Amino acid sequence: MMMCWRCSILCVNLLLLLLVAVLPRSITALASNNNNNHHINNNYSFRDSWSIITLGDLHMEDDMTMHNQARQDCLHALRDYPLLGSSGSSGGGNNKPFPLTRDYLQTLQESPAGDLTPNQLHLLLNRATMGELGQSHIVSLGDLGRGNKNSRHEPGDAGTTKCFQMAKQYLDGFAGIPYDLVAGNHDLEALSEFESDHDNLQAWMDCFHKPTPQFHKYIGTKTLLLGLSTVQFREAPYSSHEVYIDDKQLEWFQQMVESHPNEDGWKLLVFSHAPIMGSGLRVLQDVHIKSGCAWLNHCSSNTRNRFIQIVKQNPQIKCWSSGHFHLSHELQNTLVQVGSCTFVQVGVMGPKSTRDGRRQTRFFRGCAEDCIEIYSINHHVRVPTTTASPVDGDNQTDDGGGETKAEVRLDATIDLKTGGLIYAREQETNGDEGSGASTTTTTTERDQEWFQAYLPQEEDGCYLEDLDGSIGDTSSDKVCWWHMADGKVLGLHQGQVVEYDAETLAPLGVVVTEEQLHNREVLVVQNKTTLALVDDIKQDIEVVHPNADGSYWRKLSRSKVIRLDEQAREEVAKRWMDQNQRHRTEEDDIGKRNADE
Distance, in Å, from the CA atom of 479 to the CA atom of 399, rounded to the nearest integer, reads: 47
Q: 3-class DSSP state for residue 379?
A: strand
| pLDDT tens digits along 507-557 | 899 899 888 888 888 888 777 788 888 887 777 888 999 888 889 988 765
Least reliable range by pLDDT among 497-501, 564-568, 592-596: 564-568
| pLDDT the model gives residue 570 | 54
Least confident of 316-320, 416-420, 483-487, 562-566: 562-566
588: pLDDT confidence band, cut at 50, 70 and 90? low
Ranking 104-113, 227-236, 339-348, 508-517 by mean pLDDT, the lowest is: 104-113
Percent of the chain with pLDDT strictly greater than 70: 71
- pLDDT, residue 99, reads 80
Q: Is the pLDDT of residue 435 over 50?
A: no
CA distance 94 to 430: 25
Q: For residue 105, what pLDDT is reported?
A: 79
User: pLDDT, tens digit, for every residue of 285-321?
Assistant: 666 788 889 999 999 989 999 999 999 999 999 999 9
pLDDT at position 442 is 38
Strands (E) located in 116-253? 136-140, 179-181, 215-218, 223-228
Poorest-pLDDT segment among 102-116, 415-429, 525-539: 415-429
Rounded Cα distance between 28 and 219, Å, is 26
The 10s digit of each residue's pLDDT in 321-348 is 999 999 999 988 899 999 999 999 999 9
CB contact at 8 A, 483 and 471: no
> Which contacts of 264-267 are long-range, i.e. CB under 8 A and separated by 24 or more positions?
264/222, 265/222, 265/369, 266/222, 266/223, 266/224, 266/316, 267/222, 267/223, 267/224, 267/316, 267/318, 267/366, 267/372, 267/416
Task: Flag the least confident range among 151-160, 372-381, 563-572, 574-583.
Answer: 563-572
**What's the mean pLDDT in 259-270?**
97
Higher pLDDT, 368 or 15: 368
Collapsing DSSP to helix, strand or coil, 515 comes out as helix
| Contact (CB, 8 A) for 382 and 364 | no
374: confidence class by pLDDT, cuts 50, 70, 90: very high
pLDDT interval class at 96 (50, 70, 90): confident
Report pLDDT for 462.
Answer: 67
Q: At residue 103, does pLDDT exceed 80?
A: no
| pLDDT class of 357 with cuts at 50, 70, 90 | very high
Quote the CA–CA distance of 512 and 17 in Å, as a whole number: 68
pLDDT, tens digit, 9 for 90 and up, residues 132-161: 787 899 999 999 998 655 555 566 789 999
What pLDDT, on the 0 to 100 scale, is given for residue 30? 32
pLDDT of residue 559 exceeding 60: no
pLDDT above 50 for 489: yes
- Rounded CA separation 285/428 (Å): 35
Kindly list the domain boundaries of the chain, sorted by start residue: 46-86+111-385+404-425, 454-596
User: DSSP secondary structure string, 320-359?
Assistant: EEE-SS---TTSTTSEEEETTEEEEE-----TTT-SSS--
> Can you give the pLDDT at residue 305?
96
Q: Are 490 and 498 in contact (CB under 8 A)?
A: yes
- pLDDT of 249 higher than 70: yes
**What is the fold of 46-86+111-385+404-425?**
Purple Acid Phosphatase; chain A, domain 2 (3.60.21)
d(CA 436, CA 430): 9
Q: What is the pLDDT of residue 229?
A: 99
* Extended beta strands in 416-488, E state: 421-423, 463-464, 469-470, 480-483
Q: Which residues, at least 6 apart from 53, have a Cβ–Cβ distance to it below 8 Å? A: 74, 77, 78, 136, 137, 138, 139, 174, 177, 361, 362, 363, 377
Residue 452 has pLDDT above 90, yes or no: no
Range 394-411 average pLDDT:
73
pLDDT > 70? residue 492: yes
Write the DSSP symbol of residue 186. Answer: G
Alpha helices for 52-100 (secondary structure H)? 65-80
Question: Which residues are 344's β-sheet partners?
Answer: 321, 335
Please tell me the predicted confidence (pLDDT) of residue 346: 98
Mean pLDDT calculated for residue range 476-501: 83
Q: What is the mean pLDDT of the chain?
A: 80
**Cα–Cα–Cα angle for 36, 42, 45, nearest 5°?**
130
Helix (H, G, I), strand (E, B) or coil at 8: helix
**b/e per residue 305-344 (b: at least 16 CB within 10 A):** bbbbebbeebebbbbbbbbbbbbbbbbebbbbbbebbbbb
Q: What's the pLDDT at 499? A: 92
Q: Which amino acid appears at position 296 of this protein?
A: L
Label residue 575 by pLDDT band (50, 70, 90): low
At residue 480, does pLDDT exceed 50? yes
Write down the pLDDT at residue 276: 98
Indicate whether 176 pLDDT > 90: yes
pLDDT of residue 86: 82
Choose between 244 and 452: higher pLDDT: 244
Q: Specify the pLDDT at position 468.
A: 56
